[in-house]
Structure 1
């Protein structure tokens, strides 16, 4: 046993001189290392001994793999074919996490779409890893993990992301089983020690830690975290460890294991998923769900379930939102128009002011629009309904009394537009009638539609504060490529959100 562990430690030694795998995400752990070349080293093999579904490398280019078929997205197969992968990667990396919901949904669709790869790609993984890293930045762990498994996560760069995603989603044992089953990826000693504990071999884990200390391949921070994880009694009475920066998923899991789980409030979005566990406090669960819902990475119904799970015992912030939602939810379930009218303004204001207006509209927009509410509340309910996915149904029978609302209804119906006075409304009206800009049209006709769509999304980064001409061009382009629904949703969100 000792000889095999020493061999493992020595094998990890050359990794100290190797650069960590490159990534746009600084918190990805250096959990894998490149061992010294060996003629008898087995090649990377598919993770056939686990539940992970993979595809052997070489069968299909990974940047062609997706989760959404062309039948679901409506995108042509050559959406990315004519683009430079490096250019696509930069555009994807530049997309903000707080964009208009319609733009967030459009970008996510492009990240998950099954499309032909760029023809000019010299590195077939450039676009693939840009898509994965964007999903991780948004906290979309399930989608990133599914995409990795479908494409094949057997090489180090892909497996590293799959490993970290598995740790953050709580699939420790599965991650370690996959690492053991795939000898072509070489774990660092901290990852190996962690996996030994997950397999129940605590003695071997302790011996490996001692070996790593002796030969100097585990740094001081890792030694302390692993030591506390393996034998917390040795550190009893000492102050808690200082979390490393950047905090990696492995370090997070080690801290979690010793009862010093870091707050995820100031950590990247991907860590927020850990706070959705039922063992986490109610307030922390709500805050994590709110962050993920804002990024369109979590179904708002999950947030609704958390809001209504218990009775708030305090006031301010999260508790006021939970209380307001509970009040409105009860009024809707009771079918009492006056109670709904009383509860609606407060609930909407609290949700809107914290960036959760789109989620609120998705949850309640259609139901509110069907109710016979007093005029003031009815007008608010109409605007919320027009921000929901059912905007066209809401607009069908609407009879707005205000000019701005009438303009919004006309957008939703596809009627002729007579905008109220103002640069934003005029830009929206022009965008819903103007010809598409030549530069974006040229990209689309050259097999670079995806690139053009990402460019259009960036034009609207500032939302209603964007340059009016950018609003015109983005809306006109979306319409020109048949994305009428996306254009209308975008226009309504610019106008009302």
Structure 2
């Protein structure tokens, strides 16, 4: 195999450098998608009696052209989801009279990192089984589906994105190229290579075919294809050099390493990893951090990846705690500060040593705040800590961590800590959903109180609700809350008023508590 491959690669090297690949790649909402399949040419895309949402408890997200997508196995793509209404509490006709392009745009405009309560609502919408909008047509029948998948990719929620893509099936090139990249980043690409082999109408690119032939053990076929693609100018010179080293590394033992790309695709990322030049993920989009969660990756890299993904809701709270407590830290500073602080607290909790718990809590809170993962740890430990009745500053931190947990209302009902201040009284009222008589000299707290005291939806969102565009109004309120966190208090008030008006009480309370306790932008 090596001799034949070397001859073909030599031919490719002579002829390939002078020829360039067609630059007419399709546009995508995700600029780093691999060009794994040929796709169709992109075309320009175009109150009272309020509906209510029966919301269950929350538990542990550039303008482009619209792509033309084929019907996926007879299924209407925008109806695809993995969470039924019985789980989400969302009405099936949530999108109502909204235009698919408007919903897709609002999904794309959601921030990737926001408060966990807003992020949790985003995931419910992204994964929900919902009826397509009344105004959906054959031309825009996958706009919402692709926007949801793209937002999941931007959040690094690859398992959830794969579940949606698998339900859609591989018949559409735009679906397949996303699915292919997801499997590359989580290390399960073999099944998609089999799909490429069994579905030739997907028109895989040379790079994808070469990669899959090698993965399936056909090294000679991969080398021949590389030579052919290079001679025909269908493989860029950089890709040809990379694939050549992948297929026959012995030829390049004395050569210097290839320069690392600034914006690798998932396929390029995996190829550099395969030739021993792994690209660090800390400066890449958060989806690439999923590759660092694999068992063969070092612990520090896995913890750092876990933190990045936890901030977007793509890693569960218990998974992050598991990463922090996997073993004893062998160093200090940076991520190890959080590892050691959490392990110290857990040891004190196990020993039921109240003094040790009170001493461990402030440094843990400070270290978690530095990484913006306070809520994720509070979800796991907050209620237990709040129930200990700790003194002083530790007691106030424990109380606030309890308010950030799923048991926030029970924590508030149990009473204030001994070191409670004016803000804690507001927090307790918000946690109970009872703000009557509460006022605050702190502008942020008063904005929250005003949102809870409002009757009905705010004027800026009322037209959407009256126009049977409830889902669009919710997405708009989510954006208002995130955009308003740095200081536009009217947006905070209006977003909370909308959540409560349409029955998203759980989201309103938890978002308000996080906004006030964390006191950070977004």
1:72 and 1:438 map into 2 onto residues whose CA distance is: 30
Offset of 1:236 from its aligned partner? 1.1
Deviations 1:70-99 (CA, angstroms, capped at 9, x unpaired)? 111111112112111111122111111121
> Given the alignment, which residue of 351, 361, 373 partners 1:334?
351
Offset of 1:359 from its aligned partner? 1.1
**What is the aligned partner in structure 2 of residue 429 from structure 1?**
449
Q: Is contact 1:351–1:357 with CA below 8 Å preserved after alignment?
A: yes
2:75 and 2:341 map into 1 onto residues whose CA distance is: 50
> Given the alignment, which residue of 292, 300, 303 partners 1:286?
303
Offset of 1:463 from its aligned partner? 5.5
Q: Is contact 2:246–2:271 with CA below 8 Å preserved after alignment?
A: yes
**What is the aligned partner in structure 1 of residue 134 from structure 2?**
119
2:214 and 2:443 map into 1 onto residues whose CA distance is: 62
1:466 has 2:487 as partner: yes
Q: Is contact 1:387–1:493 with CA below 8 Å preserved after alignment?
A: yes
2:320 and 2:188 map into 1 onto residues whose CA distance is: 22
Deviations 1:385-422 (CA, angstroms, capped at 9, x unpaired)? 10112211211212343221111111111224413212
**What is the aligned partner in structure 1 of residue 376 from structure 2?**
359
Cα RMSD after superposing both structures: 2.1
1:442 has 2:447 as partner: no
Q: Is contact 1:460–1:466 with CA below 8 Å preserved after alignment?
A: no
**What is the aligned partner in structure 2 of residue 412 from structure 1?**
431
Q: Is contact 1:78–1:448 with CA below 8 Å preserved after alignment?
A: no
1:137 has 2:137 as partner: no
2:339 and 2:369 map into 1 onto residues whose CA distance is: 14
**What is the aligned partner in structure 2 of residue 61 from structure 1?**
76
Offset of 1:243 from its aligned partner? 2.7
> Given the alignment, which residue of 313, 317, 322 partners 2:339?
322
Q: Is contact 2:26–2:39 with CA below 8 Å preserved after alignment?
A: no
1:182 has 2:204 as partner: no
> Given the alignment, which residue of 114, 135, 141 partners 1:99?
114
Deviations 1:5-57 (CA, angstroms, capped at 9, x unpaired)? 9xxx9xxxxx9547323211100011112699xxxxxxxxxxxxxxxxxx983
> Given the alignment, which residue of 3, 22, 29 partners 1:24?
29
Offset of 1:135 from its aligned partner? 0.3
What is the TM-score with the length of structure 2 in the denominator?
A: 0.86
Offset of 1:149 from its aligned partner? 1.0
2:40 and 2:443 map into 1 onto residues whose CA distance is: 61
**What is the aligned partner in structure 2 of residue 494 from structure 1?**
515
1:191 has 2:208 as partner: yes
Q: Label 1:303 to 1:61 Cα distance change in 2 as closer, same or farther (>3 A).
A: same
1:18 and 1:154 map into 2 onto residues whose CA distance is: 24
SS of structure 2 residue aligned to 1:460: helix
**What is the aligned partner in structure 1 of residue 103 from structure 2?**
88
**What is the aligned partner in structure 2 of residue 40 from structure 1?**
none
Q: Is contact 1:386–1:392 with CA below 8 Å preserved after alignment?
A: yes
**What is the aligned partner in structure 2 of residue 12 from structure 1?**
none
2:81 and 2:483 map into 1 onto residues whose CA distance is: 29
**What is the aligned partner in structure 1 of residue 48 from structure 2?**
none
SS of structure 2 residue aligned to 1:184: helix
1:138 and 1:18 map into 2 onto residues whose CA distance is: 28
Offset of 1:278 from its aligned partner? 1.3
**What is the aligned partner in structure 1 of residue 226 from structure 2?**
209
Q: Is contact 1:478–1:484 with CA below 8 Å preserved after alignment?
A: yes
Deviations 1:273-319 (CA, angstroms, capped at 9, x unpaired)? 00001111111111111000000110121121121122222221111
Q: Is contact 2:307–2:371 with CA below 8 Å preserved after alignment?
A: no
SS of structure 1 residue aligned to 2:515: helix
Q: Is contact 1:228–1:235 with CA below 8 Å preserved after alignment?
A: yes
SS of structure 2 residue aligned to 1:66: coil
Q: Is contact 1:100–1:463 with CA below 8 Å preserved after alignment?
A: no
What aligned pairs does 1:393-412 form with structure 2 within 5 A after superposition? 393-400=410-417, 401-412=420-431
2:103 and 2:188 map into 1 onto residues whose CA distance is: 31
SS of structure 1 residue aligned to 2:453: coil
**What is the aligned partner in structure 2 of residue 110 from structure 1?**
125
Alignment coverage as a number of residue pairs: 468
Name stretches of at least 5 consecutive residues in structure 2 with no aligned partner: 13-19, 42-69
What is the TM-score with the length of structure 1 in the denominator?
A: 0.90
Q: Label 1:299 to 1:463 Cα distance change in 2 as closer, same or farther (>3 A).
A: farther
1:329 and 1:252 map into 2 onto residues whose CA distance is: 37
Q: Label 1:470 to 1:419 Cα distance change in 2 as closer, same or farther (>3 A).
A: same
1:451 has 2:472 as partner: yes
What aligned pairs does 1:156-305 form with structure 2 within 5 A after superposition? 156-305=173-322
Choose 91-100 or 56-65, whichever is displaced more: 56-65
Q: Is contact 2:168–2:175 with CA below 8 Å preserved after alignment?
A: no
Q: Is contact 1:362–1:387 with CA below 8 Å preserved after alignment?
A: yes
Higher relative contact order (CA 8 A, sep 6+): 2
**What is the aligned partner in structure 2 of residue 150 from structure 1?**
167
**What is the aligned partner in structure 2 of residue 388 from structure 1?**
405
1:308 has 2:325 as partner: yes
1:71 and 1:61 map into 2 onto residues whose CA distance is: 21
Q: Is contact 2:22–2:234 with CA below 8 Å preserved after alignment?
A: no
